[in-house]
Structure 1
């Protein structure tokens, strides 16, 4: 695929922001640095705001033609989401994915970015500040783990296994109450289901072949655009719960990832049909 932007340079921007604005505040937040947004599990910290500000400034310098869509920016200006669908080029950023973990002092969070070109996700990056490495993909070029020394490791989704052997990540927080109860009951059919409260690490684990499925219901672009592309480039099957392709403008419809179409259909029928 012809390069639209310098993806390694964008990866470095995420790392620089994490080192300057996120890690110095980790386990050093006082009550005045954390506030609740929609509910107790939906938080924003001083680090989120500072990280997004730093990333936005660096992106503006490097890619002035790109629309910048950040989670905190959309909170202040929801109209940014409407502009994303029509943008020639957009950079979509989650300055801290897993803010609740970060605020609780749990070392499981990420910084994520996706590149959207004419309504299509063409690159995705998930940076782990604690491990100091990236999982990234460009459309048509595979999914890779990249370390700061420049070494790369190609990622491949897990091979298909029977339903009772499947291990996966399931986010149930935004399911309707009756649906939640049904899904929780159906999960008894798989070997193990967990939730890490950080989509970035759900995607990293899945793309590296450590889990067999991932399910989300709430679809905000900064949470899923990069991760779904990485999963697809690792060889996985990704679709909304109605079977349709996931696109950058989708905010509803749920999302299910599996090693292949047959595994996806099995999970949809046995676990996530409600």
Structure 2
């Protein structure tokens, strides 16, 4: 596995937030927010400026790594194809939850993952509003690192019976009858929601506040760090067909649950895709 300076990466995300993100929060000017593919898929000046700063930092910290940022891929989609073959890659979402950020909702984060030879080996989810990090390195557990320097190990909550489960279910990328079927099936659980921010969804999952998370659209900057984080916190994660979720996957769905038995029950009774 590549030698990773996780502290330097954490500091870099904080620097991007201090210099480029927080000054623009609730302070975006006319023309600072633009639509990408649809009205709920946005990019702001903060996204682009933060990604430029992070990229420059990665060139210093990890000069041999291929840099794959969400906004860079938006400009050059072919860049995404380099992830599967790269010996070392850094994948960045400069602002996860851009829709929330643009609306002035303080529910967004900065996400970074490190991929070595097709395997996610480290990840960080930084919350600029709380000034703390969720950090994971493969084999070392998942940790919440607070602004005062204290650390807290994150662990998944054991699964209750299906009717009492609480979780994340992002159904927005299913179509037609399949979406209706899943929404009907979700009546089997106690509560489901979507924060439109994978950064915070993964954090509350790994801290044991909810029991499951389901996503259909798989872009690496949204899910690599969080999936490894959940696995290191004790979760069982797999695509809908039961196969492992890997960095180059952009389809096939993703379901995360506290254990394989609860994963199977959710898959069979709720997420019958």
Normalising by structure 2, what TM-score? 0.98
Matched residue, 2:41: 42
Counting only pairs closer than 5 Å after superposition, residues 109-124 of structure 1 correspond to structure 2 as 109-124=108-123
Q: Where does 1:122-201 land on structure 2 (aligned, <5 Å)?
A: 122-201=121-200
**Preserved CA contact (<8 Å) 2:211 2:257:** yes
How far did residue 167 of structure 1 move? 0.2
CA-to-aligned-CA distance 1:174-216 (integer Å, 9 cap, x gap): 1122211111111111000011000111100100000000000
Match of residue 255 from structure 1: 254
1:52 match: 51
| Higher mean C-alpha deviation, range 170-179 or range 154-163 | 170-179
Aligned residues: 273
Gaps of 5+ in 1: none
Q: Where does 1:48-87 land on structure 2 (aligned, <5 Å)?
A: 48-87=47-86
Secondary structure at the aligned position of 2:18 is classed as helix
- Give the distance between the partners of 1:23 and 1:155, measured in 2 at CA: 26
Matched residue SS, 2:272: coil
Deviation (angstroms), 1:31: 2.9
Deviation at 1:61, TM superposition (A): 1.2
Partner SS state of residue 113, structure 1: strand
What TM-score comes out, normalization by structure 1 length? 0.98
Deviations 1:54-87 (A, max 9, x none): 0000111111111100000001111111111111
Query: 2:224 maps to which residue?
Result: 225
Deviation at 1:150, TM superposition (A): 2.1
Superimposed CA distance per residue, residues 39-60 of structure 1 (whole angstroms, 9 cap, x where no aligned partner): 0000000000000000000111
Secondary structure of 1:202's aligned partner = helix
Look up the match of 1:9: 8
Question: CA contact under 8 A between 2:2 and 2:116: conserved in structure 1?
Answer: no
Structure 2, unmatched stretches of 5+, are none
Task: Classify the secondary structure of the residue corresponding to 1:256.
Answer: strand
Partners in 1 of 2:10 and 2:176 — Cα distance? 38
Superposed CA RMSD: 0.9
Choose 161-170 or 146-155, whichever is displaced more. Answer: 146-155
- SS in structure 1 of the partner of residue 134 of structure 2: strand
Deviation at 1:3, TM superposition (A): 5.7
Match of 1:268 in 2: 267
Change (3 A) 1:52 1:77: same
**Mapped partners of 1:8, 1:188: distance in 2:** 43
Q: How does 1:211-222 map to 2 (within 5 A)?
A: 211-222=210-221
